[in-house]
Amino acid sequence: QVQLVEFGGGLVQAGGSLRLSCAASGNIFSINAMGWYRQAPGKQRELVASIASGSSTNYADSVKGRFTISRDNAKNMVYLRMNSLKPEDTAVYYCNAQIARYSGDYYSEYWGQGTQVTVSE
């Protein structure tokens, strides 16, 4: 069984910073891509940032220059550093990872439970 656990959400003022963390645990053989998504009320879930196994990154245009995604393969963790936060960043943020449980296994998508980020004026 594989699970993702997220930490770091909370309330922050506009212009502030926050770091989200996500730890994958359980029967893990290999992790391919990892990423962060977010969903605001009444809106679809959208990709915020992703990071490949080789650490190449991709960001949504709305967060480029402000957010930084990183990973620690030894710890099976992925992070999202959020700077210069804006009220429009308010959403539930979800951790995502493509995980193989054993040699030869295909990569399946796993999701964290979500963590609330609220940015006040």
The pLDDT of residue 20 is: 98
| pLDDT per position as a tens digit, 91-113 | 999 999 999 999 999 999 999 99
Instruction: Give 77's DSSP letter.
Output: E
| pLDDT per position as a tens digit, 15-29 | 999 999 999 999 999
| pLDDT per position as a tens digit, 21-69 | 999 999 999 999 999 999 999 999 999 999 999 889 999 999 999 999 9
The pLDDT of residue 102 is: 96
Q: What are phi and psi of 40, to 5 degrees?
A: -95, 155
Three-class SS of residue 24?
strand
- Residue 86, token pair as written in the block: 């804006």
Which amino acid appears at position 69 of this protein?
I
